[in-house]
Amino acid sequence: MDIANYVGLFLLKNEYCFMPGIGSLQVEKRPSVYDKEAQKMTAPVYEVKYRQAGGSIDDSFANFIANNERISIAHAANHLKDFCARARMDLREGREVIIPGIGKFTGGANESIQFVTDPQLQIEGKPIPFFRNSPAVNQKKEEAISNIIERTNIREPKADEEIEYKAPSVNWGKIIALIVILLIVIGGIVYLFMYLNKDKTAEKQQQEAVQPAEASTGGEQRAGTAPVSPDTAANTASSPAPSASTDGSYKVVLQQYPTRDKAESRVAKLKSYGNNVELYAMDSTNYYVVMPVTATADTTRLIDSLRRQFNPGGKVFIVR
């Protein structure tokens, strides 16, 4: 395994290479300069510098060797240590250690090491483009302002020439389009407001229609009968509401539906379970599922029991 070749390859690729016991090689760049004669920027020049003392110790060089030789990093690190040990021995004995294409190491007094760069080594970067003005632009800049003014033709109006001033025109198309868009936006806002307000009104009327009849209307009432609110009294007067039987029984609204189909489906389902329920249509949008019950003094307890069984979290109330 020729470690010396890998030293040159790794150095040119990473601009730095450390060899244990020998030192480090580093590519340093001299900045580019402007050549006045050629009127261009020369590319930066790279030089290989050697430092015997210190250096950054890592496994990057060993990893580079391992990837190229298809061996483990530990195996590559052992080959690198063996190469550096043989190189130091050769330098002590006065022999040179050549790094192909880069230069060579030579030994000196007191075990010092010098590095001589190969004279044919040229590491160059890309030249930096230098922009300059064309001769026409330079000539234009050097002209006097007076010459430019002299060549400029300024037309003056004649004494008998009529100059017509036109009134500014109005783009009615854009104005009409803006008005139409504004009307559409206003109409949409009004429609949205009316729609939301309609929903609130319908919800309020529905809440008032299904308000439980337990609310007191003032004064003592007969035991075993439920109190009647003004809204309930008005609704029962206008439509055939479930009425109390002659023995004082009454009916409890278990659930309310906006369509007859849903109410009938619920009634059929409850009847299939053996419950005695009926359908009562209050109007075209309110359908009640009611259950006849026997008169009792504790109506609150009865309503709570039916609510837990048939409509948890909903409204259950009494109608007469």
Calpha distance 34→131 (Å, rounded): 12
Give a yes or no: residue 65 inside a domain. yes
Strand order of the β-sheet with 317-319 is 278-283, 286-293, 250-257, 317-319
Give a yes or no: residue 296 inside a domain. yes
**End residue of a domain, out of 124, 158, 193:** 124
Calpha distance 70→219 (Å, rounded): 104
If we measure between CA atoms, which residue out of 182, 283, 297, 295 comes closest to residue 236? 283
Give a yes or no: residue 203 inside a domain. no
Phi and psi at residue 235, to the nearest 5°: -65, -40
Give a yes or no: residue 185 inside a domain. no
**End residue of a domain, out of 83, 98, 124:** 124
pLDDT at site 185: 94
- Tokens representing 104 are 């060579």
Give a yes or no: residue 35 inside a domain. yes
Give a yes or no: residue 59 inside a domain. yes
- Total count of domains within the chain: 2
Q: Residue 42: which domain range?
A: 3-124
CATH of the domain at 90: 4.10.520
Give a yes or no: residue 62 inside a domain. yes
- Tokens representing 186 are 């206003």
Give a yes or no: residue 156 inside a domain. no
**End residue of a domain, out of 85, 102, 124:** 124
Phi and psi at residue 218, to the nearest 5°: 100, 135
pLDDT at site 314: 85
CATH of the domain at 240: 3.30.70.1070
As a whole number, the mean pLDDT across the chain is 76
pLDDT at site 265: 92
Per-residue pLDDT in tens (0 to 9) along the chain, 320 residues: 789 999 989 988 888 898 888 888 888 887 777 777 877 777 777 888 888 876 666 788 899 999 999 999 999 999 999 999 999 999 888 899 999 889 999 987 777 888 998 888 877 655 556 566 667 766 666 666 667 666 666 666 666 666 666 667 778 888 999 999 999 999 999 988 888 877 666 555 555 544 443 333 333 333 333 343 334 333 333 334 444 455 567 788 888 899 989 899 999 999 998 888 899 888 888 899 988 887 766 788 888 888 888 888 888 888 76
